[in-house]
Structure 1
Amino acid sequence: MPLLSPLPIDAALPLLLAALEAGPFAVLVAPPGAGKTTRVPLALLDAPWRGDGRIVMLEPRRLAARAAARRMAQTLGEEVGETVGYRVRLDNKITRKTRIEVVTEGVFTRMLLDDPELTGIAAVLFDEFHERSLDGDLGLALALDAAALREDLRLLVMSATIDGARVARLLGDAPVIESEGRAFPVETRYVVPDPLARLEDQVTAATLEAMNSEPGSALVFLPGQAEITRTAERLAGKVPANTDIAPLYGQLTPAEQDRAVQPAPRGRRKIVLATSIAETSLTIEGVRIVIDSGFRRVPTYEPATGLSSLETRRVSRAAADQRRGRAGRTEPGICFRLWNEGQNSALDAFDTPEILAADLSGLALDLASWGVTDPKAMAFLDSPPAPAWSEAVTLLKGLEALDAQGRITPEGRALARLPLHPRLAHMVHCAAGENDALTAAEIAVLLGERGLGGAGIDLAHRLDRFRRESGRRAEEARNLARRWAALVGNKSGSGEDAGRHLARAYPDRVAQASGARGRFRLANGRAASLEETDALAAAPYLVVADLTGSAANGRIRAAAAIDRATIEELFAGQITSETVLAFDKGARSLRARRIRRLGALRLTEEPLAVPTSEEAARLLAAGLAETGIAALPWSKDQNALRARSTYLHQTLGDAWPDLSDPAIAQDGAATLAPYLSGHAGLADLSADDLAGFIEEVLPWARRAEMDKLLPSHFAAPSGSNLPIDYAGENGPTLEIRVQELFGLDRHPAVAGGKVPLLLVLLSPAHRPIQTTRDLPGFWRGSWKDVAKDLKGRYPKHYWPDDPLAAQATARAKPRGT
Structure 2
Amino acid sequence: MRGESRISANTRLEIVTEGVLTRMLQSNPELPGVALVIFDEFHERNIHADFALALCIESQQALREDLKLLVMSATLDGLDFNKLLPNAPVLHSQGKAFDVDVVYRPLKSLQNHSTALAAQVSAVLMEVFAQHTQDILIFLPSVFDIHKTMDMIQAKLQENAAVYPLYANLSKEQQLSALYPNTEGKRKVILATNIAETSLTIDGIEVVIDSGLEKVSVFDLSRGVTQLTTQRISQASATQRAGRAGRLMPGTCYRLWAKEQHERLWAHSVPQILQSDIAQFMLEAAVWGSDIKQLVLLDYPSDAQVQQAHEKLQRQGLIDTHGKPTRLGREVHGLSGDIDLALMLIRSKALSAAHLSMACAAAALLETKDVLATSSSPELSMRMSFIQNAPQHPVWRQVKQWHQKLGVAQSSWPIHDLGLVLAFGFTQWIAQNKGDGRLLLANGKGAMLNQEAAQALASHPWCVVCHMQLTDVQSGSAMVRLCEPLGKADLNEHFAHVYTTRNELFWDEAKQRFSAAQNHYFASIKTKSVPMGVPEDDLLLPAWLGLLQDKINKFGASALALDERSEQLLLRLVLLSGFDSSTKDNAANDSDDLDDVQDKAQMLSEQCADWLIQSIEQWLIPALSGKTTWQQLTKLGFYQLMSQHLDYHQSKRLNEQLPEGLSIPTGRKASLRYENSGKVYLSVRMQELYGMREHPTLLGGKLPITIELLSPASRPLQTTQDISRFWSGSYRDIQKEMKGRYPRHFWPDDPAHAKATAATKKKM
TM norm. shorter chain > 0.5: yes
Distance in 1 (alpha carbons) for counterparts of 2:630 and 2:385:
56
Report the counterpart of residue 384 of structure 2 in structure 1.
Answer: 463
Report the counterpart of residue 406 of structure 1 in structure 2.
Answer: 323
- Which of 494, 504, 508 is 2:424 aligned to? 504
Q: CA deviation at 1:251?
A: 2.7
- Which of 133, 137, 159 is 2:46 aligned to? 133
Report the counterpart of residue 475 of structure 1 in structure 2.
Answer: 396
- Which of 426, 433, 454 is 1:513 aligned to? 433
Q: CA deviation at 1:442?
A: 2.3
Q: CA deviation at 1:122?
A: 2.6
Distance in 1 (alpha carbons) for counterparts of 2:122 and 2:301:
40
Q: Is the 8 A contact 1:165 1:176 kept in 2?
A: no
Is 1:437 aligned to residue 356 of structure 2? yes
Report the counterpart of residue 36 of structure 2 in structure 1.
Answer: 123
Report the counterpart of residue 524 of structure 1 in structure 2.
Answer: 443
Q: CA deviation at 1:238?
A: 1.1
Distance in 1 (alpha carbons) for counterparts of 2:16 and 2:144:
29
Distance in 1 (alpha carbons) for counterparts of 2:622 and 2:329:
55
Q: CA deviation at 1:609?
A: 6.7
Alignment of 1:102-501 (within 5 A): 102-148=15-61, 149-163=63-77, 166-167=80-81, 170-180=84-94, 182-195=96-109, 198-372=116-290, 374-435=291-352, 436-452=355-371, 456=375, 457-471=378-392, 473-486=394-407, 494-496=413-415, 497-501=417-421
Q: CA deviation at 1:363?
A: 1.2
Is 1:572 aligned to residue 496 of structure 2? yes
Q: Secondary structure at the match of 1:604?
A: strand
Report the counterpart of residue 742 of structure 1 in structure 2.
Answer: none
| Residues matched between the structures, number | 571
Moved more, 428-437 or 542-551: 542-551
Q: Secondary structure at the match of 2:484?
A: strand
Q: 1:692 and 1:298, CA in 2 relative to 1: closer, same or farther beyond 3 A?
A: closer
Q: 1:671 and 1:397, CA in 2 relative to 1: closer, same or farther beyond 3 A?
A: closer
Q: 1:647 and 1:213, CA in 2 relative to 1: closer, same or farther beyond 3 A?
A: closer
Report the counterpart of residue 736 of structure 2 in structure 1.
Answer: none
Q: Is the 8 A contact 1:437 1:490 kept in 2?
A: no
Is 1:543 aligned to residue 464 of structure 2? yes
Counterpart of 2:494 in structure 1: which amino acid? L
Counterpart of 1:531 in structure 2: which amino acid? N
Counterpart of 1:177 in structure 2: which amino acid? L
Report the counterpart of residue 697 of structure 2 in structure 1.
Answer: none
Q: CA deviation at 1:342?
A: 1.2
Report the counterpart of residue 584 of structure 2 in structure 1.
Answer: none
Q: Is the 8 A contact 1:530 1:537 kept in 2?
A: no
Q: CA deviation at 1:417?
A: 0.7
Alignment of 1:547-696 (within 5 A): 547-549=468-470, 550=473, 552-580=476-504, 593-606=517-530
Q: Which deviations, in whole Å up to 9, do the C-alpha atoms of 1:207-258 show, x marking residues without a partner?
A: 2212232222211111112222221222231124232222222232333233
Q: CA deviation at 1:582?
A: 5.4
Q: Is the 8 A contact 1:437 1:492 kept in 2?
A: no
Counterpart of 1:128 in structure 2: which amino acid? E
Distance in 2 (alpha carbons) for counterparts of 1:459 and 1:485:
22
Q: Is the 8 A contact 1:246 1:260 kept in 2?
A: yes
Q: 1:586 and 1:481, CA in 2 relative to 1: closer, same or farther beyond 3 A?
A: same
Stretches of structure 1 lacking an aligned partner (at least 5 in a row): 1-87, 624-645, 655-666, 698-817
Q: Secondary structure at the match of 1:284?
A: coil
Q: 1:493 and 1:419, CA in 2 relative to 1: closer, same or farther beyond 3 A?
A: farther
Q: Which deviations, in whole Å up to 9, do the C-alpha atoms of 1:605-653 show, x marking residues without a partner?
A: 4556777989789999x99xxxxxxxxxxxxxxxxxxxxxx99999xx9
Q: CA deviation at 1:334?
A: 1.2
Structure number, greater radius of gyration: 1
Distance in 2 (alpha carbons) for counterparts of 1:582 and 1:154:
62
Q: Is the 8 A contact 2:457 2:485 kept in 1?
A: no
Q: Is the 8 A contact 2:504 2:539 kept in 1?
A: no
Counterpart of 2:465 in structure 1: which amino acid? V
Q: CA deviation at 1:362?
A: 1.1
Q: Is the 8 A contact 2:118 2:149 kept in 1?
A: yes
Q: 1:103 and 1:589, CA in 2 relative to 1: closer, same or farther beyond 3 A?
A: closer
Distance in 1 (alpha carbons) for counterparts of 2:635 and 2:302:
61
Distance in 2 (alpha carbons) for counterparts of 1:357 and 1:647:
54
Q: Secondary structure at the match of 2:155?
A: coil
Counterpart of 1:131 in structure 2: which amino acid? E
Q: Secondary structure at the match of 1:381?
A: coil
Report the counterpart of residue 706 of structure 1 in structure 2.
Answer: none
Q: Secondary structure at the match of 1:178?
A: coil
Q: 1:564 and 1:210, CA in 2 relative to 1: closer, same or farther beyond 3 A?
A: farther
Q: Is the 8 A contact 1:618 1:673 kept in 2?
A: no
Distance in 2 (alpha carbons) for counterparts of 1:491 and 1:238:
48
Distance in 2 (alpha carbons) for counterparts of 1:365 and 1:395:
11
Alignment of 1:754-765 (within 5 A): none
Stretches of structure 2 lacking an aligned partner (at least 5 in a row): 548-562, 572-615, 642-764
Q: CA deviation at 1:189?
A: 0.8
Counterpart of 1:533 in structure 2: which amino acid? E
* Identity rate, percent: 33
Q: Secondary structure at the match of 1:187?
A: strand
Counterpart of 1:603 in structure 2: which amino acid? T
Q: Is the 8 A contact 1:527 1:552 kept in 2?
A: no
Q: Secondary structure at the match of 1:233?
A: helix
Counterpart of 1:598 in structure 2: which amino acid? F
Q: CA deviation at 1:192?
A: 2.6
Moved more, 406-415 or 527-536: 527-536
Q: Is the 8 A contact 2:541 2:622 kept in 1?
A: no
CA RMSD of the aligned region, Å?
Answer: 4.1
Q: Which deviations, in whole Å up to 9, do the C-alpha atoms of 1:129-171 show, x marking residues without a partner?
A: 1111011111111122223423333321111111387335522
Q: Is the 8 A contact 1:217 1:271 kept in 2?
A: yes
Q: Which deviations, in whole Å up to 9, do the C-alpha atoms of 1:385-437 show, x marking residues without a partner?
A: 22212222222222222122111222221111111122222221111222232
Q: Is the 8 A contact 1:454 1:465 kept in 2?
A: no
Counterpart of 1:130 in structure 2: which amino acid? H
Counterpart of 1:565 in structure 2: which amino acid? A
Q: Is the 8 A contact 1:245 1:270 kept in 2?
A: yes
Alignment of 1:767-782 (within 5 A): none
Q: Secondary structure at the match of 2:107?
A: coil
Q: Is the 8 A contact 1:547 1:554 kept in 2?
A: yes
Q: CA deviation at 1:527?
A: 2.1
Q: CA deviation at 1:320?
A: 0.4
Distance in 2 (alpha carbons) for counterparts of 1:89 and 1:443:
17
